[in-house]
Structure 1
Amino acid sequence: MKNRKSIFAFFAISAAMIFASCSNLTDANVSSSSEDKNTLNIEVTNYDEVVTQASKSANRASRTIIPDSFDSDGVDFYLYGTNTSGGTFGPEKVTFTGNTDAAGGAASKTVGTVSIPANSAVWEFTLVAVTSGAAAPTEATLKDDAVLIGYSSMDMLNGDTAKFTLSPDGLTKEAQIAMKLYTDGWALPAGFTAKAGIYLLTTGADAGADATPTEKNVAFSDATKDEANAVAYAINSFAPGTYLFKVTFEKTGSNKKFYWSDVLVVLPGKTIDNVVGIPNVIGTAPTAPTAFKAGYVENSEDKFSGWYTTAFEWERGSKNENNFEIEVLEFNDADTVTPPTDADAAWTTALTAGSSVTYDSKFSSEENYESGSLLSGNTKAQLRLELGKRYFARIRAVNDAGESAWTLVALADAPAEPTGTKAFTGTTINRYRLTYFMNGGAYYADKATADADTAGTGGSTEDKVSYHCEDSTTGIEIIKADGTPIIKNNTYTWSYWSKDATSETASRYNEPGAAPEAYKGYKNLDLYAMFTTDASVAIFDKKSLEIQDGWITVDTGNITGKTATIEVTTQTEVKWTFTPGEVKDAEGKKIENFAYDKVNFTVTKGGTTFEAKSADKVGAATEFAMSLSNLPAGIYQVMFTAHYDTTTVSYPITTTITR
């Protein structure tokens, strides 16, 4: 009798990246013959699982079906790269050599170094494994020759480690399915039939061709309760990749179905001949998912204006769910909130302080969907959440027999974040945007440089944008007006920040001379640099010099106060018109023939400036053209900044462009 193979363990995630960080790996050096100067650290997160271990390894939890994996002596590795300057690197053969940690034991990751060309900071790398002794694959033969492949993006200015997750996804060398199935000691109830098939993880669609689907009837009977009498499930030729193998039980005349499923990893040129025992899942509700955690995807902020990407990750509690449900709670606008302490009673209480949205099997059709799936077998999903808001989450598994208990998201317990993401540092899921508007001034990194620039024409005029998680205890330090860096508007001195570009006391974020407070909030914060001269210089009535509602019009769309909507059809630009109204001096007298010294017009989004124009001596209607050719639909910040003598005033307009 053929021995049953024990099933190999590791975390299986979504279709594109299937393996999570693993344990019991050995450190490795990556050697290369390249003599270039930039050093790249390489980390392979699942080297041990797919290269040095076999699926029949003993004492592994039953989690994923794979064939015998590749012996470490049976594959060679090659590194490829392309950069933003158009340069290429490789194929460069690399060798992994096991090391031990400082204590003499096996370290937890496979890492090493390799030298790469230094002519570009941003790289796209591909690491491939081929059969030992084979020639290095070319770009044309890569998908045919490789047996494993992994990808990594690397900005050498901001890091030096490229992480690879090896998988067979996208490769083309055909494999074979020769599995056997049995009911592991139980008999199929009367009236029930069984089908088995291979499906795409993300969509749930049959992974076979339309003309030859993989779903097949399985003839379970009283005789097929042990592996010696297992039923064959075979496909002669099948594409490598990561799939869901699912067995469906259905009673004739009933609309309920019950499932058992497992992630199926098909390696190029290998045969999956596992003998798999299927437990009795009929009428059994799924077990609650475990290890539910969330993190944010770095540098995802404002790629969709006003949003960032949140990644959720969990472990399946059982193998009989139809799909998962994630409920996301958005807290109402309040100074403080109390996150739920459990997934039931405390969650219900927390709903009084907010509202929730439930994502289910139709997750991929949601407007704020990013990647992943909540269908059976998946353990990762990403969606976009709004900047400047606070959220919490819980998850459960669902099938036709019922629902599991809810599992609350963990933000503080290590490891707090899914693989490849950053941890939220507060008690809620939150990211916010902090923007420093230069407001006509220039930014200097240090006081000496600012003092040396007596003309006030140097420095950076770009607004400063950064993103943070809520920190209600320590907060985020705000740039100090009496320290460094320095902001100057020509010869005028930066005095304080304003929250709405006015000099009203209520709008001042930091009073002149006061120590600036740390920001402990969670909302998006816009700060505008305000400038004054020394005390001996007269200041005009700032209230009178401020830009008023109605002074600014746009020839397309409409504008109400500080909000505008522009519907783009065929035009290539829109024209904004700035018309100063009545302005008074400090004594309340109207200034005849008044003109601002200069008016600046800028269009920005997420720290990127799309338009920057100015006009001198503006006392009458003045047009500023805004090109639409490089402005996709979205929300932009249109800013008018007017200068008169020692005074600078601004008028921000939140502008929505629709197409």
Structure 2
Amino acid sequence: MKNRKSIFAFFAISAAMIFASCSNLTDANVTSSSEDKNTLNIEVTNYDEVVTQASKSANHASRTIIPDSFDSNGVDFYLYGTNTSGGTFGPEKVTFKGNADAAAGGAASKTVGTISIPANSAVWEFTLVAVAPQGATAPTEATLKDNAVLIGYSSMDMLNGDTAKFTLSPDGLTKKAEIAMKLYTEGWALPTGFTAKAGIYLLTTGADAGTDAAPTEKEVAFTDATINETNTVDYAIASFAPGTYLFKVTFEKTGSNKKFYWSDVLVVLPGKTINNAVGIPNVIGEKPEAPTEFKAGYVENSEDKFSGWYTTAFEWERGSKNENNFEIEVLEFKDADTAVAPPTSDDEWTAASTGGSSFVTYGSKFSSEANYESGSLLSGNTKAQLRLELGKRYFARIRAVNDAGESAWTLVALADAPAEPTGTKAFTGTINRYRLTYFMNGGAYYDDKAAADADTAGTGGKTADIVSYHCEDSTTGIEIMKADGTPIIKKNTYTWSYWSKDGKSETASRYNEPGAAPEAYTGYKNLDLYAMFATDASVAIFDKKSLEIQADWITVAFSGTPEAGENATLTGKTATIEVTKQTEVKWTFTPGEVKDAAGKKIENFAYDKVNFTVTKGGTTFEAKSADNVGAAKEFAMSLSNLPAGIYQVMFTAHYGTTTVSYPITTTITR
């Protein structure tokens, strides 16, 4: 495509000193300007798709349809906010600077701005806006929002941090824009029998961005003459909401079920006119090119928000502009205690997937997957997030797909994390996060030896179990707490002796015994360690495995008498509900035997609480719980408001500080 307009001149001028990709911030330290003022650091992240485009040619592979430039004076940035104590701040103008990486000639880095705000420990809700220069008069919040061309939001507590991070976009602003684009076929004539339609669509869902009464999709009357910028076809919408969209041209031959697409991300800014002349290349019958720069990283602090899962973020660049959608394959390596080398070619991928490992392909219906988090694999998107299970190893690859065929696969690179969301970290070796849990087992934790020695009764310290999350490190590993060092664990007057890997006292289950060399965990599976105490016969130790939910503990059935063809079946962690008239299905949770460390059944055992949830794509449809569950407990699941699709049914059982879960992928058909 050739975009003939001046492209976002403001960004071209200020990108070098203001915006960033994904380098670590090096100069965002708190300094106090006075006793009652603190320096707030401001980062603007992830509007680099527009910024990057501004510093490159108009033929760059994405993010090229953008409005006329701002005026030559650029824009100003203003910050304002409120806090939970009722205080307000601003609006005040923000001064930006580049960081050390950019100054040294390195890769472009995050926007870094500073501003002095009241030193208040309450949680702040900040708004950052970009507007045309406002002159000497201090603008009000209303003025800023009415005139903003970009806006972003951030929440933070000044007591626990000093940096507010913003993603700026036009999304959510209301001042209407105008679309007045000129389209042509860039040197080729539309073949006989083909028609062309152009429209503006929502990036995540692919739906028309207009209304039912006024859709944006319309036929484009290309002729043999409209092959250059001199002879163009108008695509015009007088009033359109600001935001980030997909502009797509569809070519279809009468009588054929194949369609071919060309698309580009369209950034609509408030009050601006998009009057670009856009040349469309010939994509009819052409396969898409392979995506590039495919990355994956784990989203910090996402572990166990859904019990047993964490969020993985994927990011890539479009290889061409003619895909219908992308496909991501996620390979789960077979269960093995030794380190696994990720595939480096399609042949190695195939060999791995036929050697006991398995993979799942996510495509155009990505948002309907049970473990979907955000993003989309539809045309024009370059970001997606999904939940993966803790304690498993994965790898991934991506390709682009259209009606002409598929591109080559691109294997994921794990050295650098995606830029979004903020706080995403790089994996090491494979895609893996695991949970390390130290169960106090009735003991108390002391991180200071003197305090532990002084507490002769052994009743102080911290009693909560210690949980941390890590990536597999098959070389160095994660160092495990040692029983004859610091920290110290006590149970009354009994002495912490060693860790047990399964709550049993057999030698084979012991971890890091006193006198032995310190051990580091080099595995990838979730690791539970139980504190064991010398001469303490009263310590009640459960067999961890028997606490886990078993497949035969759960059943599913209709509440009423099924109609012909209606079924509710459950096999392992997969359920199918075929429904025509039933309005409810009941899930029954019946705990089985729970045993102690010696293998003896514990009589009258009951879980403290059992939670039952039904979710899809981040939306929760059912959330119920029951206390003191030792016998059969029914959980009703309403079918009335559940359309056909794939849902995640989750049972989560709690006993003391132990939590176990059992996910069931449930397909509802009607």
TM-score after normalising by structure 1: 0.77
Q: 1 CA distance for matches of 2:514 and 2:325?
A: 57
Alignment-mate amino acid for residue 67 of structure 1: P
Alignment-mate amino acid for residue 276 of structure 2: N
Alignment-mate amino acid for residue 111 of structure 1: V
Match of 2:652 in 1: 635
Distance 1:128 1:6, change over 3 A: closer
Match of 2:127 in 1: 126
Contact kept in structure 2, 1:31 and 1:113, CA below 8 Å: no
Task: State the Cα deviation string for residues 173-194 of structure 1 (Å, max 9, x = none).
Answer: 0000011011111111111111
Distance 1:349 1:510, change over 3 A: same
Residue 474 of structure 1: which of 476, 498, 501 is its match?
Answer: 476
Offset at 1:144? Answer: 3.7
Match of 2:642 in 1: none
In the TM superposition, 1:614-625 aligns within 5 A as none
Alignment-mate amino acid for residue 319 of structure 2: G
Distance 1:563 1:486, change over 3 A: farther
Contact kept in structure 2, 1:21 and 1:419, CA below 8 Å: no
Contact kept in structure 1, 2:441 and 2:541, CA below 8 Å: no
Alignment-mate amino acid for residue 128 of structure 2: L
Task: State the Cα deviation string for residues 128-153 of structure 1 (Å, max 9, x = none).
Answer: 123432764547x7754422101234
Contact kept in structure 2, 1:6 and 1:62, CA below 8 Å: no
Offset at 1:503? Answer: 1.4
Q: 2 CA distance for matches of 1:332 and 1:9?
A: 52
Q: 2 CA distance for matches of 1:110 and 1:416?
A: 17
Q: 1 CA distance for matches of 2:205 and 2:465?
A: 42
Contact kept in structure 1, 2:433 and 2:524, CA below 8 Å: yes
Offset at 1:47? Answer: 7.8
Task: Give the secondary structure class of the aligned counterpart of 2:511.
Answer: coil
In the TM superposition, 1:85-104 aligns within 5 A as 85-97=84-96
Contact kept in structure 2, 1:395 and 1:408, CA below 8 Å: yes
Distance 1:248 1:50, change over 3 A: closer
Match of 2:75 in 1: 75
Distance 1:204 1:99, change over 3 A: closer
Task: State the Cα deviation string for residues 28-78 of structure 1 (Å, max 9, x = none).
Answer: 999999974443211223688869x99698677353210124357453322
In the TM superposition, 1:599-618 aligns within 5 A as none
Task: Give the secondary structure class of the aligned counterpart of 2:208.
Answer: coil
- Could you list the runs of 5+ residues in structure 2 that have no partner in the other structure? 12-18, 560-588, 599-604, 612-624, 636-648
Task: Give the secondary structure class of the aligned counterpart of 1:450.
Answer: helix
In the TM superposition, 1:133-148 aligns within 5 A as 133=134, 136-138=139-141, 144-148=146-150
Distance 1:308 1:209, change over 3 A: same
Contact kept in structure 2, 1:565 and 1:655, CA below 8 Å: no
Residue 407 of structure 2: which of 393, 404, 408 is its match?
Answer: 404
Task: Give the secondary structure class of the aligned counterpart of 2:508.
Answer: helix
Task: Give the secondary structure class of the aligned counterpart of 1:436.
Answer: strand
Match of 2:386 in 1: 383
Task: Give the secondary structure class of the aligned counterpart of 2:94.
Answer: strand
Match of 2:530 in 1: 528
Match of 2:497 in 1: 495
In the TM superposition, 1:83-482 aligns within 5 A as 83=83, 85-97=84-96, 108-120=109-121, 122-133=123-134, 136-138=139-141, 144-154=146-156, 156=158, 159-351=161-353, 352-412=355-415, 414=416, 420-482=422-484
Task: Give the secondary structure class of the aligned counterpart of 1:227.
Answer: coil
Q: 2 CA distance for matches of 1:32 and 1:239?
A: 42
Alignment-mate amino acid for residue 653 of structure 2: Y
- Could you list the runs of 5+ residues in structure 1 that have no partner in the other structure? 12-18, 534-538, 553-558, 584-598, 606-610, 615-621, 641-651
Match of 1:646 in 2: none
* Identity across matched positions, percent: 71
Q: 2 CA distance for matches of 1:48 and 1:311?
A: 17
Q: 2 CA distance for matches of 1:28 and 1:579?
A: 52
Offset at 1:634? Answer: 3.8
Q: 2 CA distance for matches of 1:484 and 1:204?
A: 56
Distance 1:238 1:104, change over 3 A: closer
Distance 1:465 1:316, change over 3 A: same
CA RMSD, Structure 1 to Structure 2 (Å): 4.6
TM-score after normalising by structure 2: 0.76
Alignment-mate amino acid for residue 279 of structure 2: G
Distance 1:29 1:298, change over 3 A: closer
Contact kept in structure 2, 1:32 and 1:94, CA below 8 Å: no
Contact kept in structure 1, 2:549 and 2:662, CA below 8 Å: no
Task: Give the secondary structure class of the aligned counterpart of 1:223.
Answer: coil
Distance 1:3 1:126, change over 3 A: closer
Distance 1:330 1:28, change over 3 A: closer
Q: 2 CA distance for matches of 1:60 and 1:22?
A: 24
Task: Give the secondary structure class of the aligned counterpart of 1:506.
Answer: helix
Distance 1:513 1:157, change over 3 A: farther
Task: Give the secondary structure class of the aligned counterpart of 1:487.
Answer: strand
Contact kept in structure 2, 1:82 and 1:88, CA below 8 Å: yes
Offset at 1:216? Answer: 1.2
Contact kept in structure 2, 1:603 and 1:638, CA below 8 Å: yes
